[in-house]
């Protein structure tokens, strides 16, 4: 005899498009019972829930696709892995095994890159604050330091003078390009002439050599014309440097910013329809650089600092339903064991959420929220979702970019991360946090301990 279905109290709902309408009913939510051939149940049993799961195959595939697409279109190309996007050692080491250098934006990241065996001459050092010790280490180590502002330029000169060095440096430029919101806080502005002034100041100081120019337009840039225009402006700037000041550049760095297959909250089309393939980004950059007027033997190295577009799609979070509720406005609510502490990108992504088992029943607008006891802790705020039992595992993706380095240790301990190899082996790449990790940092001063 089949089991009697569980009773659920009915509720009245405003009809919203997407559920039952004149076209019929919601086509159903695709379930995903495995990641790269490993069953979700096996992963949870072994590592617990929530758990981040990374696909080595997807990551390697993305790196190779971008590298090959760019090399097809430009003679000298170097990827530099943007550490801030995901600096788990295993993830960085996959990039380095594929030949990528490191791109870092702090002294801590610089040290991580060195620990991962990256020679200092293969570290690109960006960012608006490089403390003196880190700046000195990078200049001495002949890293590609891209200066962000005049104070940093002066600091680099002081270090060079004190150590009797004449380091090569780059400068970061910002500019308007395509339809992207302008990231104008970083570097020197190209359109206003500030960047040109900075170059004259740098050369006039006589303590540093200008060897590179860099820009990073922003992040999740869907507009290919932005890259075409930015690369064109960089090429024109490089030409002017050569023609008017005799400066020959060693590197030309177009930063990162390519979009992953995710979907922003503001975005209508899903990622697989809206995000250009990596080859189209490469094409746009190469198109823009076409005006570079440099003899082949002096072609600068083209550096790409792509982060999100390489690692995001390789990462999935498995989370588990811990409760169901009905909110006063009639919406179904599902509580899961991972919130915005773990999934920082929930603030701007509409993540794809797949149950690990097929779900039946009528989908309704559903809020999925985490365990934080804070109103902001919303993983998905209006998703059409069928009823889902407590204990069901949900797969949230893509989440490989930024979530791990930006995760907050707030109320809950941070989850582990697992890597699945192309052969289907799996293992921890970050163990779960334990209470001892946290309390070992705390100190109780003497005056509170005394009787
Ligand atoms: C200087 C720099 N380069 C590269 C990146 C990587 O960007 P994305 O992950 O959007 O490719 C960032 C991220 O903000 C950055 O600041």
> Does 56-312 carry CATH code 3.30.1490.100?
no
Q: Is 400 in the pocket of ligand 1 (CB under 6 A)?
A: no
Domain spans of the chain, in order of start: 34-53+314-435, 56-312
Instruction: Measure 39 CA to ligand 1 centroid, in angstroms.
Output: 33
308 CA: nearest ligand 1 atom? 9
Q: What is the pLDDT of residue 21?
A: 53
Query: Contact, 96 vs 425, CB < 8 A?
Result: no
Q: Is 308 in the pocket of ligand 1 (CB under 6 A)?
A: yes
Ligand 1 neighbour 216 (Cβ under 6 A): yes
Residue 140: which pLDDT band, with cuts at 50, 70 and 90?
very high
Contact 170, 213 (CB under 8 A): yes
0.85 surpassed by pTM? yes
Q: Is the CB of 214 under 6 A from ligand 1?
A: no
Higher pLDDT, 182 or 107: 107
Assign residue 311 a region (left: φ > 0; alpha: ψ between -120 and 50; beta: otherwise). alpha
pLDDT one-digit tens code per residue, 146-185: 999 999 999 999 999 999 999 999 999 999 998 777 889 9
β-bridge partners, 364: 385
Tell me if domain 34-53+314-435 and domain 56-312 are identical in fold: no
| Residue 26 near residue 20, CB atoms below 8 Å | yes
**Secondary structure class of 230 (helix, strand, coil):** helix
Tokens, residue 78: 């170097």
Q: Looking at 204-351, which runs of residues are DSSP E strands?
A: 209-214, 251-253, 301-304, 315-326, 332-336
According to CATH, the topology of domain 34-53+314-435 is Lyase, Ornithine Decarboxylase; Chain A, domain 1 (2.40.37)
- Block residue for tokens 């791990």: 404
256 in ligand 1 pocket by Cβ < 6 Å?
yes
* CA 362 to centroid of ligand 1, rounded, Å: 41
pLDDT at position 15, please?
A: 54
Pairing of strands 332-336, 364-369: parallel
Minimal-distance CA residue to ligand 1 atom 4: 256
Output the pLDDT for position 13.
59
Instruction: Using DSSP bridges, classify how beta strands 301-304 and 352-355 pair: parallel, antiparallel or unpaired.
Output: unpaired
CA of 215 to the centre of ligand 1 (A): 10
**CA 311 vs CA 40, 286, 307, 398, 399: distances in Å:** 20, 23, 7, 9, 8
User: Residue 169: its pLDDT value, please?
Assistant: 98
Look at residue 16 in the predicted model and tell me its pLDDT.
53
pLDDT in tens, 206-244: 999 999 999 999 999 999 999 999 999 999 999 999 999
CA of 303 to the centre of ligand 1 (A): 12
CB atoms within 10 A of CB 194: 15
Query: Which residue pairs, CB below 8 angstroms and at least 24 apart, start in 432-438?
Result: 432/47, 432/48, 433/409, 437/413, 438/409, 438/413
What average pLDDT does the chain have?
A: 94
Which residues, 6 or more positions from 277, have their beta carbon under 8 angstroms from its beta carbon?
none
pLDDT at 356: 98
Model pLDDT, residue 450: 79
Structure confidence at residue 193 as a pLDDT band (50, 70, 90): very high
- Residue 2's pLDDT is 66
Residues 110-129: pLDDT tens digits?
A: 999 999 999 999 999 999 99
pLDDT at position 26 is 56
Ligand 1 geometric centre to CA of 221 (Å): 11
Ligand 1 atom nearest 309 alpha carbon: 11
User: Contact at 8 Å (CB) between 380 and 333?
Assistant: no
Of all residues in the chain, the percent with pLDDT exceeding 70 is 95
Say which DSSP state 116 is in. Answer: T
7 vs 271 pLDDT, higher one = 271
How far, in Å, from the CA of 312 to the mean position of ligand 1? 13
Cβ-based burial of 446 (10 A; exposed 0-12, middle 13-18, buried ≥19): exposed
Question: So what's the pLDDT on residue 382?
Answer: 86
Please write the tens of the pLDDT for every residue from 242-256.
Answer: 999 999 999 999 999
Neighbouring residues of 450: CB distance < 8 A, sequence distance ≥ 6: none
Q: How far apart are CA 451 and CA 50, in angstroms?
A: 43
Q: Give pLDDT tens digits for 306-364.
A: 999 999 999 999 999 999 999 998 899 999 999 999 999 999 999 999 999 999 988 99
Atom of ligand 1 nearest to the CA of 401: 9
């Amino acid at each position: 005899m089949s089991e009697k279905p569980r009773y659920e109290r009915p509720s009245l709902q405003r009809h919203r498009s997407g559920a039952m309408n004149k076209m019929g009913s919601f086509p159903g939510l695709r379930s995903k019972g495995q990641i790269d051939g490993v069953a979700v149940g096996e992963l949870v049993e072994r590592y617990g829930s929530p758990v981040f799961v990374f696909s080595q195959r997807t990551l390697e595939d993305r790196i190779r696709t971008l590298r090959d697409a760019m090399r097809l279109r430009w003679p000298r190309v170097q990827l530099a892995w943007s550490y801030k996007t995901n600096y788990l050692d295993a993830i960085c080491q996959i990039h380095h095994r594929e030949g990528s250098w490191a791109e870092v934006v702090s002294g801590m990241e610089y040290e991580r890159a060195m620990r991962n065996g990256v020679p200092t001459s293969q570290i690109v050092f960006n960012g608006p604050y490089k403390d003196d010790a880190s700046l000195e280490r990078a200049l001495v180590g002949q890293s590609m330091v891209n200066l962000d502002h005049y104070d940093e330029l002066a600091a680099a000169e002081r270090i060079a003078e004190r150590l009797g060095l004449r380091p090569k440096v780059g400068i970061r430029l910002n500019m308007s390009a395509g339809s992207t919101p302008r990231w104008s806080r970083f570097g020197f502005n190209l359109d206003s002439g500030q960047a040109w002034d900075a170059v004259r100041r740098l050369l006039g100081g006589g303590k540093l050599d200008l060897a590179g120019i860099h820009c990073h337009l922003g992040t999740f840039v869907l507009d290919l014309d932005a890259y075409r225009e930015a690369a064109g402006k960089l090429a024109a700037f490089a030409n002017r440097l050569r023609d008017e000041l005799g400066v020959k550049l060693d590197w030309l760095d177009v930063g990162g910013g390519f979009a992953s297959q995710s979907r922003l909250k503001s975005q209508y089309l899903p990622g697989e329809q809206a995000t250009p393939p990596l080859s189209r980004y490469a094409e746009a950059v190469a198109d823009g650089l076409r005006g570079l007027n440099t003899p082949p033997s002096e072609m600068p190295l083209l550096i790409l600092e792509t982060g999100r577009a390489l690692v995001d799609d390789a990462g999935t979070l498995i989370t588990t339903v811990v409760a169901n509720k009905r909110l006063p406005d009639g919406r179904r609510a599902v509580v899961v064991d991972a919130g915005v502490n773990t999934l920082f990108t929930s603030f701007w992504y509409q993540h794809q959420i797949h149950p690990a088992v097929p779900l039946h029943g009528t989908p309704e607008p559903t809020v999925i929220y985490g365990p934080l006891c804070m109103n902001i802790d919303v993983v998905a705020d209006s998703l059409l979702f069928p009823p889902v039992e407590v204990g069901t595992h949900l797969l949230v993706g893509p989440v490989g970019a930024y979530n791990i380095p930006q995760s907050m240790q707030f109320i809950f301990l941070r989850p582990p991360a697992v890597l699945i190899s192309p052969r289907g082996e799996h293992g921890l790449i970050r163990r779960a946090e334990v209470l001892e990790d946290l309390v070992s940092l705390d100190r109780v001063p003497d005056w509170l301990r005394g009787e």
